[in-house]
Structure 1
Amino acid sequence: MHVRCRSKGTRWLRAFAVLPLLASTLAACGSDEGGGRPTLNWYNFPDDSGALQMAADRCSRASGGRYRISYNKLPRAADGQRQQMVRRLAAEDDSLDILGLDVTWAAEFAEARWIREWTGAAKRQATEGTLRVPLQTSTWKGKLYAVPYNTNTQLLWYRSDLVPTPPKTWSEMLDMARDLARQGKPHFVEIQGAQYEGLTVWFNTLINSAGGSILNPTATEPSLGPPAARAAGIMRELANSVAADPSLPNQMEDQNRLAMEAGVAAFEINYPFVYPSMRQNNPQLFKNFRWAPYPRVDADRPSRPTIGGIDLAISAYSRHPDLAFEAALCLRNRENQLTAALMGGLPPTLRALYDEPAFMKQYPFSREVLAALESASVRPITPAYQNVSIAVSHTLSPPSAIEPVSSVETIGDQIDDALRSEGVIP
């Protein structure tokens, strides 16, 4: 069942999705509190740190009684988050106001006319001081449809007791891993090799670092070409070398973290959450746990790691859009982004925060993160992204079976089919 809340006092049920949605939707329907203060429903990923609830409470107080923000937790898995919002927006559910979108969803939601464009003063405030690359994830056809709330990027993490000087390129890293293996020392390179979004991210980073891209600039056809074959070749080389963890075809970010903490690896490509985890779970290894820029494909060309994060969008069906835009800007302001960084480990999208002493103290790798973000790449911006990602991850799994030329041709053919679809997958 699906609930739709009406501002004129009528509330009616409409059969649409699955029963578990009913309870959460009913809870969200306290939209206008006794005579007047509207409730703005913010749907975002579940946050265990308390930073998101703190932001909602702060902004509710800062509104001076004009609105209250209710933080509603979406499912933990990104697929579940997207599915719940897609179903409810397709039914024109007006109990959704502020939407926490994965960085790959803005184009799809905008093309479906489920989210509102940011214009005027709200757009100026949203873009002022915001890092350039995260803003790309919020833009579709030259228009801004969301505002970056947080971002993320991968670094190279390594053990300085095994590798005094970190490698600059993939080739150097594999050579170092082979040398460590000959010495009988920990030598694995931990990276995401399972058949899921992380595998697409690995390929996207490599192809962009090689000077190419998955799609052309207008997102109308695949680009790929020699840079894609180069990227696929690096993935295959690692997977068939001694550097590959035997569990590579099944590994995601958390399995990489655990392997590094267990002491079986020398290198790890992962997000900054691994730093506090290593400090807590293996203090001895933490003494030698270091970080460096994401490895390059070519020594003379910078790496372009793929960014992640969440963008805040305003539902096309919100009954209080002006207040929702105002509230979204508050939720991602300097104070709330700093809190999210310090409490939740979410790198900010405001450039000025990278000079904030409290942030720099907790993130000793903040300069490397900022440098990565300033040269970063984004995943293909297209309403058909879900299909594009599936084409990449399914074709390149397992990495040891990649045939660079034919695998890239297969990806190109499947992307052609994906781009001819409408992009909205239930």
Structure 2
Amino acid sequence: MGVRTTAVRATAALGVAVLLASCSSGGDQGGGQPGGALEGRGEVTFATGKDTSGNMQKLVDEWNAAHANEQVRIIELPESADAQRQQMVQNAQVKSDAYTILNLDVVWTAEFAANRWVVELPAAEFQLDKFLQPAVKTAQYRDKLYAAPMYSDGGLLYYRKDLLDAVGQKPPKTWAELTTACQAVKAAQPAIGCYAGQFEKYEGLTVNFDEAVHSAGGDVVDADGKAAVDSPEAKAGLDALVTGFQQGVIPEKAITYKEEEGRRAFQAGELLFHRQWPYQWALAAKTDGSSQVAGKFDVAPLPGLNGPGSSTLGGHNFAISAFGKNKATALDFIKFFTSEASQRSNLVATSQAPTLASLYEDAELVKQFPYLPTLKESILSAKPRPQAVRYGDVTQAIQESAYAALTGAKTSDVALKELQTKLQELLK
């Protein structure tokens, strides 16, 4: 989901022009002033990434049917997380009221809150004790709530259960076991790719790099908030990916994979293992002919160097733009969208991870989505990405260094030493 093409750059540039044209003080509608009170009722806009399931629009339609004078309109941003952030930042920098509600990646909370681009939410109006606590923490900045946790996410290892069963292999807990299982399957099916994740130079690479480092016992940033990537553990994690590409365990074309490219490859039967978010389950399980692996796959925890690995904590939170109109309506809509009924609807339609703990214990849902216990474990033990006010610069530095190592432009030693220096400066 990186910003690379001229078309995307042109779209972003056009977005800036539109945003500049739409700037407004907001008047009595509760917009225009950073940190303005949650006042004003009427139409609001909801800026979000692509609604691949259609369920987001379904819930918006449900809200709109019951709120004739407080309609919500979705503004669909590019598929790329980096491009989404870019447009939201540009919107905030020109103090535009074009966006009211923002669907923020969990790692953007600190940046948007510190810059006063989003307003503090009344924590008492959300039953935060009923949410998964790692998800709640991603919505807070300096112990105050700046967003509502809507989607959580933990990385899972999707695997072809039918192919592993055929050669007597179990889901791997380590990289070595994954390689062994792949060799056994490829003996019968030479054309199948072994493993893929998200390795294009965009936010997904930051996630996969973080997971590799943590799964080898290292840290990107330590408990004191200091850079920690120049370590033997971090090198071992990065080297696992580098070696994977060099030895063909990771197909060469996977260097171009974002979430959707990898998902399509897995569903086409081209991969034995795939590191992916929960949303892939519903799509890969479809029996309408769009998936060649329906009924043939399962999920397991991510593998690590010497045992089960560690997922990067993902997900999205809903925040209210400091410059948006009708903040009271926006708050009510967010409460509606994060309710148990809405989260249940979203889980059933998309298989995305809910943030309410009760849904992971629901017998009916667990029967329909047997991966829920594994997913909950993944989320509760997941490690966050670096929490930094200058997160955009931090993730770009990680992407550049990791990509250089994966493509052979730099050795892992050089890449990590340079990244250590960059992060030390950015995290001051």
Q: Give the TM-score taking structure 2 as reference length.
A: 0.81
Quote the Cα distance in structure 1 between the aligned partners of 2:240 and 2:254: 14
Please identify, of 283-292 and 324-333, the stretch whose mean Cα deviation from structure 2 is larger.
283-292
Q: Match for 1:79: what amino acid?
A: D
Contact 1:31/1:40 (8 A) holds in 2: no
Q: Match for 1:393: what amino acid?
A: Q
The residue that corresponds to 2:4 in the other structure is none
**In 2 relative to 1, CA 234–52 (structure 1 residues): closer, same or farther, beyond 3 Å?**
same
Quote the Cα distance in structure 1 between the aligned partners of 2:360 and 2:324: 34
Q: Match for 2:55: what amino acid?
A: A
The residue that corresponds to 2:394 in the other structure is 388
The residue that corresponds to 2:136 in the other structure is 135
The residue that corresponds to 1:104 in the other structure is 107
Q: Determine which of 280, 293, 296 is the counterpart of 1:288.
A: 296
Q: Determine which of 356, 362, 366 is the counterpart of 1:360.
A: 366
Contact 1:29/1:95 (8 A) holds in 2: no
Count the aligned residue pairs.
395
**In 2 relative to 1, CA 74–172 (structure 1 residues): closer, same or farther, beyond 3 Å?**
same
Q: Determine which of 267, 271, 276 is the counterpart of 2:273.
A: 267
Q: Match for 1:153: what amino acid?
A: G
Q: Determine which of 170, 173, 177 is the counterpart of 2:178.
A: 173
- C-alpha RMSD of matched pairs (Å): 3.1
Quote the Cα distance in structure 1 between the aligned partners of 2:178 and 2:306: 12
Q: Determine which of 86, 91, 97 is the counterpart of 1:88.
A: 91
Q: How big is the shift at 1:204?
A: 0.6
Please identify, of 274-283 and 187-196, the stretch whose mean Cα deviation from structure 2 is larger.
274-283
Contact 1:150/1:309 (8 A) holds in 2: yes
Q: How big is the shift at 1:322?
A: 4.3
1:43-89 Cα deviation digits (max 9, x unpaired): 222325342233334445667x7844333333333233222222222
The residue that corresponds to 2:234 in the other structure is 228
**In 2 relative to 1, CA 329–218 (structure 1 residues): closer, same or farther, beyond 3 Å?**
farther
Secondary structure of the residue aligned to 2:73 is strand
Contact 2:20/2:96 (8 A) holds in 1: no
Contact 2:217/2:234 (8 A) holds in 1: no
Q: How big is the shift at 1:258?
A: 3.0
Contact 1:133/1:377 (8 A) holds in 2: no
The residue that corresponds to 1:410 in the other structure is 418
Quote the Cα distance in structure 1 between the aligned partners of 2:20 and 2:398: 35
Contact 1:178/1:243 (8 A) holds in 2: no
Unmatched 5+ stretches in structure 1: 1-15, 421-426
**In 2 relative to 1, CA 142–395 (structure 1 residues): closer, same or farther, beyond 3 Å?**
same
Please identify, of 328-337 and 153-162, the stretch whose mean Cα deviation from structure 2 is larger.
153-162
**In 2 relative to 1, CA 375–321 (structure 1 residues): closer, same or farther, beyond 3 Å?**
same
**In 2 relative to 1, CA 62–353 (structure 1 residues): closer, same or farther, beyond 3 Å?**
farther
**In 2 relative to 1, CA 60–298 (structure 1 residues): closer, same or farther, beyond 3 Å?**
same
The residue that corresponds to 1:13 in the other structure is none
Quote the Cα distance in structure 2 between the aligned partners of 1:374 and 1:205: 15
Q: How big is the shift at 1:359?
A: 3.1
Q: How big is the shift at 1:264?
A: 3.6
1:106-164 Cα deviation digits (max 9, x unpaired): 11111111112234513xx2523111222222222333221111122221122233323
1:362-419 Cα deviation digits (max 9, x unpaired): 4231121111111112211112222111112211225152633322111111222333
Matched, 1:70 2:73: yes
Quote the Cα distance in structure 2 between the aligned partners of 1:73 and 1:307: 24
| Structural mapping, 1:99-248, within 5 Å | 99-122=102-125, 125-164=126-165, 165-182=170-187, 185=190, 186=192, 188-219=194-225, 221-224=226-229, 225-248=231-254
Contact 2:16/2:90 (8 A) holds in 1: no
Quote the Cα distance in structure 2 between the aligned partners of 1:253 and 1:413: 29
Q: Match for 1:271: what amino acid?
A: W
Q: Determine which of 325, 333, 336 is the counterpart of 1:330.
A: 336
Q: Match for 1:91: what amino acid?
A: V
Quote the Cα distance in structure 2 between the aligned partners of 1:76 and 1:404: 30
1:4-36 Cα deviation digits (max 9, x unpaired): xxxxxxxxxxxx97334478889x99969xxx9
Secondary structure of the residue aligned to 1:162 is helix
Unmatched 5+ stretches in structure 2: 1-13, 31-39
Matched, 1:51 2:52: no
Identity of aligned residues (%): 28
The residue that corresponds to 2:8 in the other structure is none
Contact 1:127/1:147 (8 A) holds in 2: no
Q: Determine which of 16, 20, 24 is the counterpart of 1:18.
A: 16
Q: Match for 1:217: what amino acid?
A: A
Quote the Cα distance in structure 2 between the aligned partners of 1:153 and 1:29: 41
1:186-239 Cα deviation digits (max 9, x unpaired): 3521222222222211111122233332123353x3122233112112112211
Quote the Cα distance in structure 2 between the aligned partners of 1:183 and 1:95: 55
